[in-house]
Amino acid sequence: MSLWDGWEDPMSVRCDGDCKVMEQLGERQDFESELSRLGFTHEAFTIYVRRARAPASGTTWGQNYSVCVTNVVTKRSNIYWGGPGEQWVSQFAADLASGFYGAPDWQRVERPPRRATRPRLVAGGPTRS
């Protein structure tokens, strides 16, 4: 066992299951880029990847897989199909942008109330600051 076995970047999305199948295509990085672009933290999401099985034989197909994406904050999840001809990252990004997974992190942050501006007395009359 090497030092790097089981190590994940603390800024990356937690991925369980057969993650290598989508990592080979760079889809995990594309997924994380969409999260960042739309204002979500990576730590708020998990991914579970599972290879598709042939219905009759039960054998594992090498190219098709499902991706279950979960927002652990809002408890919302959805399953996307990956593999040749599938665009699961684009479908996920559309769901994320539409609000399916909740508001971006910057919208959930509680901001202090704005203070009212008071007139300032200066030579020549009051002004607003």
Q: Domain tally for the chain?
A: 1
Q: What is the pTM of this model?
A: 0.70
Enclosing domain of residue 56: 14-105
Residue closest to 48 by CA, chosen among 73, 21, 69: 69
Three-class DSSP category at 80: strand
- Whether residue 3 is contained in a domain is answered as no
Quick one: how far is CA 51 from the chain centroid?
Answer: 21
Task: Indicate whether 126 belongs to any domain.
Answer: no
pLDDT tens-digit readout, 75-84:
999 999 998 8
Q: What does pLDDT average to over the chain?
A: 80
Smallest CA-to-CA distance from 95 within 82, 108, 78 is with 78
Q: Is residue 125 part of a domain?
A: no
